[in-house]
Structure 1
Amino acid sequence: MSTENDLDDFFSSDRVTARDEDVTLDQGGYRDHLYDLDDPVLAQWRGLDYVEFSRRKREPGFVQELLGAWQDLYDEPFVGVTTDGVVRDVHRLVPVTDAAPEAARAAERLLALLDDDRRAVAQHPVGSPRWRAWSNPEFVIHDGGLRLEELDEPVAQAALAMVEASLSPEGYARVREAMALNGFLGDLVDLPDLMNERSYWVSVFGTPSAGGAWGWQLFGHHVAVSFVSVAGRHVVAPVFLGAEPALSDGARPPLFDARERAALELASSLTDVQRAEAVVYSSVLDPSMPAGRLHPADERHVAGAFRDNRVVPPEGIRATSLDDHQWALLRAIVEDFHLLLTEPQRRLTLADVDAHRDDTWLSWYGATDGSQPFYLRIHSPVVLAELDHHAGVWLSNRLPARFHVHTTLRQPNGNDYGRAYLAQLGDASHD
């Protein structure tokens, strides 16, 4: 049912309105927040394809304002996420001499299946600004090459095989699980033409080769992965993974359960002194947040779509104030964020994380005992990782809940999309 706080059919200002009282976890499950299938919130979209749905979804004034702001950000020259607007020289490219060729070969097989017209749509220069066109909503803002659900089965399978060959087995499973949960949501609300396991865009950047510079991107609702290989060194950033709901009654595993348990273990281990530093806001809707801190689409996360140049000052507690056990917990969370990387590549990235331990920050919004939805950010010169609990979009909960999760991962200081590495290789073109 609509209320005076509704911004459009999906967004309510409730999700960004400060509340003096704590936001406590709903004791029920996500099924308590399913709309009736005949509710206009759902029924108005039934029977539409994604093209017409996207056209209509972009019409409201609120969405037009949002898209205009995102377009302005997209049009900016790429700089990278920084703490103060100044890029630090922290990303040193060390070529991997024994780079595995499987990912490049899988990409070559995909491209070989495309005719000239589709290859022109699917393949871009490795330094193309089109890397930055990804987005999370289920409606299309920018198309990103080929849409999986529209491809012949051999081509779709080849695209998925490229993704699989590039990622770790466990990382690929996580990406496919997020895609499957999108399909689960489409079934829940009876809108499978808008949300399914293949309602995603895929494209290739550069010329695939194990030792050269190339990559691919896969994005759509709750899944956006940018993979880049530069002289054999892999970067998987930015990454946006989420789910609504993030679990499915035992039919599918909870997507972020292990990460959330590790985060709560770390938060609950904090001493009173540490907690006073780490907990920046006592609630995810804390009225002491400054104007603009809460965003009607992003809610609390700062590193989502089109935020390539965001200035994010460090906040919370510096890792030097954590003991070794707490650092190990924090590092395990960071490793889980990097699960998409193959194990050898993950070791290289974690070594970079370790090198900046003294300049790593942990911030937390909400209670640390698991009684409330929370926001987590781990931030250093080489990693920005977030987990945020959100209000409903296709479910009716107007306040953040643990069953709607967004996570983001970036490499600050200019190495999103491998750009810092590309510049060192001399293969990057400019925006």
Structure 2
Amino acid sequence: MTDGLRYRPKAPTRKPAVWTPDLLERVEWRRRAADEPFRGVADSAGVRPGLFPLHSTGVDVTAVRRAAERYLSGLSAAQLAEGRLPMDDVSWRHWANGARYFLRHGVCLEELADPVRDSALAVMRASLSETGFTQVVDLMHLNLTIGELRGEEDLLNEWLYWFTVYGDPGDGAQPWGWQLDGHHVNVNCVFVGDQMVLTPTFLGAEPVHATSGKYAGTHVFRREEAVGQELFDSLTGKQRAQAVIGDVLPPDLFVGAFRDNYELNYQGMPFTELTGHQYALATELLGLYTGRAADAQAQVRAAEVLAHQQDTYFSWIGDGGPDSAFYYRVHSPVILVEFEHQAGVMFDNDVPTRRHIHTVVRTPNGNDYGADLLRQHHERFHRHGPGHGHADRPGRA
């Protein structure tokens, strides 16, 4: 390769022709994890109730509903059968950030005619901010970049992503949502009335910077990396003693794929002990993640998150050197953000570098996939209706 880097062997990114026992076991442990009754990420005290009241935000969601209806109207009967699923389908929880083909579902964007694929992208564009949408598309582009570098464009490209619509966008009376699932890009978006939940969202890239190929110049996660580093650098020695929770980076994010019920305690530096400048950096950092949502929804989400600043913590793993790899976390009762530099998966390096980054955002205490809002919606509107017990509950076993 012209870049002088070594690459790991190919991985099956498409449906294997033969499911070997090893591949089947890899699938089955994921299926078992997704089949566990959903609780949500929580600390050792358990899920804290009452954090996510069902209410109207006043945000107009008409445009995104209409975009979803236009997309669905362009699908064939066979594509509809694959690409539109019930709101309570367990496949919500089958998303996986790895390149391997495990439990993929929905319609692959690669297989759609350009106008229909554009209408799928329009659903995402209507749900996300300009910055959020651009970031998602850039990450899809970088999947082609690694394909170009490895000579595997057939296995790694910008359209090898699966899109699913759940429920009925209709007139907005019923909850609905969408999911984008593929290598390094996993976005779950749920609407309950005009409330939107945009988690779990996993975004990553390897490489993070395209220096050649179709999308040369694309560079992602610069602000997430730089602001996290700046916040850590601003801490005093005493503050770092609180913030640093380890020296050796974990092998991966704590609350990544198939960890919907992970137990994670609060650790690190409380936001309440940050100085004015440090607090400004911390809120800017959070805004990089909440700001992926469409602007009006992002404002609602930011207010929800900042209302819990008394219980918000910043933690760090790594030596803090200017070019070193690191991990950070922002954790409160209503948001959990993780950022980490990774070892190579496509590249053949066993030591974490800034060339490979993973991020994830969760809504802990039971509202990933909008599950707590959906529970309340069900109790309020469907308790005595058909399907009592399961209606509008995503990810049930």
- TM-score by length of structure 2 reads 0.89
Counterpart in the other structure of 2:5: 33
In the aligned structure 2, how far is the partner of 1:362 from the partner of 1:247? 27
Counterpart among 166, 176, 192 of residue 127 in structure 2: 166
Counterpart in the other structure of 1:50: 14
1:8-407 matches, cutoff 5 A: 31-35=3-7, 41-42=8-9, 50-52=14-16, 59=20, 61=22, 66-84=26-44, 86-89=46-49, 90-209=51-170, 211-212=172-173, 213-249=175-211, 251-284=216-249, 294=250, 299-407=251-359
1:326-360: per-residue Cα shift (whole Å, max 9, x none)? Answer: 12211111110123201111111111111111111
Deviation at 1:127, TM superposition (A): 2.6
- TM-score by length of structure 1 reads 0.83
CA separation of 1:368 and 1:60: change in aligned 2, threshold 3 A: farther
AA partner of residue 312 (structure 2): T
In the aligned structure 1, how far is the partner of 2:114 from the partner of 2:142? 21
1:261-282: per-residue Cα shift (whole Å, max 9, x none)? Answer: 1011100011100001101112
Counterpart in the other structure of 1:9: none
AA partner of residue 99 (structure 1): D
In the aligned structure 2, how far is the partner of 1:181 from the partner of 1:210? 36
1:109-159: per-residue Cα shift (whole Å, max 9, x none)? Answer: 111112333212111122322211110111111122101111222221211
Deviation at 1:85, TM superposition (A): 5.8
CA separation of 1:66 and 1:119: change in aligned 2, threshold 3 A: closer
Contact 2:367 2:373 (8 Å CA) reproduced: yes
* Percent identity of paired positions between Structure 1 and Structure 2: 37
1:223-266: per-residue Cα shift (whole Å, max 9, x none)? Answer: 00011111111111000100000111282332101111101110
Deviation at 1:178, TM superposition (A): 0.4
In the aligned structure 1, how far is the partner of 2:61 from the partner of 2:194? 8
How many aligned positions are there? 377
1:169-202: per-residue Cα shift (whole Å, max 9, x none)? Answer: 1111000000000011111101111110000000
Counterpart in the other structure of 2:388: none
In the aligned structure 1, how far is the partner of 2:163 from the partner of 2:45? 31
In the aligned structure 2, how far is the partner of 1:197 from the partner of 1:226? 19
Counterpart among 414, 418, 426 of residue 366 in structure 2: 414
Deviation at 1:407, TM superposition (A): 0.4
In the aligned structure 2, how far is the partner of 1:209 from the partner of 1:380? 34
CA separation of 1:65 and 1:280: change in aligned 2, threshold 3 A: farther
CA separation of 1:316 and 1:198: change in aligned 2, threshold 3 A: same
Q: Could you list the runs of 4 or more consecutive aligned residues of structure 1 that deviate by over 6 angstroms after TM superposition?
A: none
In the aligned structure 2, how far is the partner of 1:338 from the partner of 1:252? 25
In the aligned structure 2, how far is the partner of 1:373 from the partner of 1:49? 28
Contact 2:142 2:218 (8 Å CA) reproduced: no
Counterpart in the other structure of 2:384: none
Matched residue of 2:348: which SS? coil
Deviation at 1:309, TM superposition (A): 0.6
CA separation of 1:100 and 1:49: change in aligned 2, threshold 3 A: closer
AA partner of residue 242 (structure 2): E
AA partner of residue 76 (structure 1): E
Unmatched runs of 5 consecutive residues or more in structure 2: 379-390
Q: Which moved more, 1:246-255 or 1:272-281?
A: 246-255
CA separation of 1:115 and 1:66: change in aligned 2, threshold 3 A: closer
AA partner of residue 308 (structure 2): H
Deviation at 1:51, TM superposition (A): 2.2
In the aligned structure 1, how far is the partner of 2:24 from the partner of 2:237? 45
Contact 1:210 1:231 (8 Å CA) reproduced: no
In the aligned structure 1, how far is the partner of 2:209 from the partner of 2:194? 35
1:272-326: per-residue Cα shift (whole Å, max 9, x none)? Answer: 0000110111232xxxxxxxxx4xxxx2311111111111111112222212321
In the aligned structure 2, how far is the partner of 1:261 from the partner of 1:32? 27
In the aligned structure 2, how far is the partner of 1:31 from the partner of 1:118? 40
Counterpart in the other structure of 1:291: none
CA separation of 1:209 and 1:334: change in aligned 2, threshold 3 A: farther
Contact 2:27 2:103 (8 Å CA) reproduced: no
In the aligned structure 1, how far is the partner of 2:316 from the partner of 2:20? 36
Matched residue of 2:203: which SS? strand
AA partner of residue 320 (structure 1): T
Contact 1:168 1:342 (8 Å CA) reproduced: yes
